[in-house]
Chains A and B, each alone.
Chain A
Amino acid sequence: MEKSRFYGRGLPYKKLGRLKGSLIVIEGTDGVGRSTQIEQLKPWLEVEGYGVVSTGWTRSPLLYETINEAKAGHELNVTTFSLLYAADFADRLENEIIPALQAGLVVLADRYMYTAFARNTVMGADPAWSRSLFGLALVPDLVLYLRIDVNALIPRVLGGKGMEYWESGMHLALGSDMFDSFRNYQTRLIREYNALAREFQFTTIDARLPIPEIQEQLRGHVRRLLRARKNGARAKPPEPESKPAEKTRSSGT
């Protein structure tokens, strides 16, 4: 029974007990607007009376320095990258996410293991291997996927903080310049995310919509989840892809 809460083999040495809180994941590619949405979700949930914590990719106190340094030194390959991501994830899972869920908080995760699956695959890792690393992951209660296509993404990133080395996949030498590389890398990444969305039945939201409208949709999904959980139901099983697509009018192309 314990086992079904995990993606794979879980954490055999850990007593989880009842996880009263809810784990909500926001996924989507670089620059799609995840953090903007999370910044707005958090105060809203607090006004609604929920305790909220957020956790973000590569933000583990144990590893963020190591990851940043290694990225700067360009000494990583796909294997060490994948393992560092997994170590960062495990640290946050055990020291942040699980304690918060045990305490009954809502955990908003900016990216989850799916980001590792997408990136590792694009970088050329053996997909089965890179997934097996995350066998210790808890299955989220809800995965909200901000879906965008590369043509809509480009102006947004250019108008924002600009194209960045890693987000452009420059380490993969995919194009003759930053722009081409960005386009190629993000195209592949988005393709992976879309495949994952089908496989893991993410709730998909069209990220080309205006920010407030996306927020409204996200709140609708979160509200439904929290209500269902409050009504005694255990975490709702993820909805099939077609359903949220209808509900949210457009699920992207």
Chain B
Amino acid sequence: MSRLHEPHPYPGKLIVVEGIDGSGKSTQLSLIHRWLESEGYRVFFTEWNSSPLVRRAMRRGKKKDLLTPSTFSLLHAVDFADRLTYRIMPPLKGGMIVLADRYVYTAFARDVARGVDPQWVREVYSIAPRPDLALYFRVPIDVSLERILSGRQKPKYHEAGMDLGLSKDPVESYRLFQGRVLEIYESVAKEFDLKVIDATGEIDEQQRVVRRMVQRVLRGIEPVAKAV
């Protein structure tokens, strides 16, 4: 029985952003973070694949290319469960705001693109509460690639799905793999009713749209203190 299809019973609010790399979701979320704090809210932030518990195993697995689609998926699930325990549930139960950069939908898109069973990965993550607001930043591959390549030279190994052997060229592999991820994201967005944001627009325009949505979700939640 998944908790992902019904509203959670906790007093806090959970807001998550989703999208492929280079969709601009992290930029948008950090602007939301700033804004909410300036409004006097207590805000907690958590990020995909950031728990110290599996950091070493993840690094080792990635470096030596030891990961299979299933272990890749399960390690991320451990990361998620650890952050759920320590970073998400306590503030949510305590009536505060949690911002998550990527959530279970990332696994539903990425892990399935790697070939794991869609139903299985949904069962694995059925421990997750449903967010109050889940934003999906939709962006074409070319735009995402352009944004990534402007920052660093080439996409990272796993980001490009190089472990799948789709192509020897990282950029081509990225195109193929993230193209698959994008397709799956679209169906995941429908299945879980993610709010789609056109991520090709200007940053401030997107932010205006997003703030309106956040405001609606936060109705009834009082700021702890107005910032000076």
Contact = CB atoms under 8 A, between A and B. Distances in A.
Q: Do A and B bind each other?
A: yes
Interface of A: 8-14, 61-63, 65-66, 70, 75, 77, 79-80, 83-84, 86-87, 90-91, 94-95, 128-129, 132-133, 135-136
Given A79-B127, A94-B71, A132-B123, A13 B85 contact: no
B53 A80 contact: yes
A83 B77 contact: yes
From A8, A63, A75, residue with most partner B Cβ within 10 Å:
A63
B78 A91 contact: no
B114 interface: yes
Given A13-B114, A83-B74, 7 more contacts: A11-B70, A12-B115, A12-B116, A62-B61, A65-B56, A90-B68, A135-B117
B181 to A, nearest CB: 15
Given A8-B120, A79-B85, A83-B81, A65 B74 contact: no
Contacts of A128: 1
B53 A66 contact: yes
Contacts of B93: none
**Chain A contact residues: over half helix, strand or loop, or mixed?**
helix
Contact of A79 (B1, B69, B81): B81
Contacts of A13: 69, 114-116
Given A62-B60, A77-B85, A91 B123 contact: no
Interface string B105-118: 00000000011110
B120 A135 contact: yes
B126 interface: yes
